[in-house]
Amino acid sequence: MNKLNGSIRGDEVSELLRTVRFRGAVFCRSELSAPWGFSVTGRDFASFHIVTHGRCCLDVQGLDGRFALSEGDLVILPGGHTHTVRDSPSSPATRLEELIAGSGIDANGTLRTGGGGAVSVLICGGFRFEDGATHPVVASLPPIIHLRGRTRGVENWLGLTLAFLAEEAEAGRPGAELAVTRLADLLFIEVLRTYFSATETSRVGLAAALRDPQIAAAILTIQREPEARWDVGNLARRVAMSRTTFATRFKALVGESPFSYVTRCRMSKATAALRSGTAKIAEVASRAGYDSEASFGRAFKRWTGTSPAAFRTGIEKAQRRPRR
């Protein structure tokens, strides 16, 4: 039973994160001497930057204010927003791809460039989500997550992970690429655990909803069995709330209605099944809680913009495409 103290239990966060499927990758380690700057265009996967030495600043397109980053800090842009990182707001910025192509990366995967001044060292990479558009956890993340390395409760795990990342990125030992990728995966999980557990994270969204014991219980109930015939009434009864109070509080905290959240979880389950399995679309529809393939197809297209068959075909083509 949940304690009514407004906190998030670790097992609740673990249950939510268990269904997030992603692949991490470290693009490069950069040694940058002032003045320096690089820009990253919008992309369909999350970007991250870790400052292992020095300091810099970050501007994100569409967000007000500038983010100051210091040694030990980590930023993740879950939506892959266009952004610029530089040593000073006045420094010119070059597209990261052009910088890599022009300066080149050495055998250990390190990019070295800049004007010869004070040095900052960054590790940059990304996370590609399998079902980012439909997964409730990924969809709930803000445009930017900024963790300060010297924050209490963060410095220990972040410091250890950064130390291992820096060592592997610099050493160039056999298997270093795989080790760094696995460390990046661990880093992302720890970031999400910290984000969802922080009491000051947000007043709206999944993180805020999980701090309300009754709404958190409803969310986990839906996620465990999205295919069930849920409606506002039976969900409200499950968490001992009146129908009106439950619907109002759920939407205020989660940012969408209970019905919309049920649909999101159903679509997440369906896209995972279409991506990884060989079940017929009618079977996927049934497992996702739809009475017919036709009703499932309509709901799927409204949610994703494409039909289940086209979605599966696109996945199969992508899997056959040779990797670079």
Q: Which two tokens stand for residue 4?
A: 């009514």
Angle of the 213-224 helix axis to the 258-276 helix axis, nearest 10: 30
pLDDT value at residue 301: 95
Contact 147, 58 (CB under 8 A): no
Domain that holds residue 77: 14-197
Cα torsion for 41, 25, 185, 176, to the nearest 10°?
-150
Q: For residue 86, which of 109, 48, 54 has the smallest C-alpha distance?
A: 54
In a domain, 8, yes or no: no
Contact 77, 47 (CB under 8 A): yes
160 with 244, same domain: the answer is no
**To the nearest whole percent, how much of the chain has pLDDT over 70?**
83
228 with 134, same domain: the answer is no
> Cα(48)–Cα(60) distance, rounded to whole angstroms?
12
Contact 111, 30 (CB under 8 A): yes
> Which of 180, 197, 214 delimits the end of a domain?
197
CATH number of domain containing 118? 2.60.120.280
pLDDT value at residue 144: 92
In a domain, 3, yes or no: no
Per DSSP, the residues of 33-56 read: ESS-EEEE---SSEEEEEEEESEE
pLDDT value at residue 321: 62
41 with 82, same domain: the answer is yes
In a domain, 138, yes or no: yes
Spacing of C-alpha 74 from chain mean position: 14
pLDDT value at residue 234: 95
pLDDT value at residue 307: 95
Spacing of C-alpha 56 from chain mean position: 23
61 with 117, same domain: the answer is yes
In a domain, 7, yes or no: no
Measure CA of the first residue to CA of the last residue in the chain; give whole Å.
50
Q: For residue 274, which of 212, 244, 316, 227 has the smallest C-alpha distance?
A: 316
pLDDT value at residue 203: 65
pTM here is 0.74
In a domain, 79, yes or no: yes
Q: Which two tokens stand for residue 306?
A: 């494409």
108 with 187, same domain: the answer is yes
180 with 218, same domain: the answer is no
176 with 251, same domain: the answer is no
Q: For the chain, how many residues are written?
A: 324
pLDDT value at residue 66: 94
- Domains in the chain: how many in total? 2
pLDDT value at residue 38: 95
Q: Is 125 helix (H, G, I), strand (E, B) or coil?
A: strand
CATH number of domain containing 216? 1.10.10.60
217 with 129, same domain: the answer is no
187 with 307, same domain: the answer is no
In a domain, 257, yes or no: yes
Residue recorded with tokens 């298997």: 175
In a domain, 220, yes or no: yes
Low-confidence ranges of the chain (pLDDT < 70): 1-12, 24, 26-27, 108, 131-134, 151-155, 166, 168-177, 198-204, 318-324
104 with 228, same domain: the answer is no
Q: For residue 76, which of 109, 40, 103, 106 has the smallest C-alpha distance?
A: 40
> Which of 157, 176, 197 delimits the end of a domain?
197
> Which of 164, 197, 230 delimits the end of a domain?
197
Angle of the 213-224 helix axis to the 10-17 helix axis, nearest 10: 30
pLDDT value at residue 170: 63
In a domain, 149, yes or no: yes
pLDDT value at residue 92: 94
295 with 224, same domain: the answer is yes
106 with 150, same domain: the answer is yes
**Can the peptide bond before residue 35 be classed as cis, meaning omega within 30 degrees of 0?**
yes
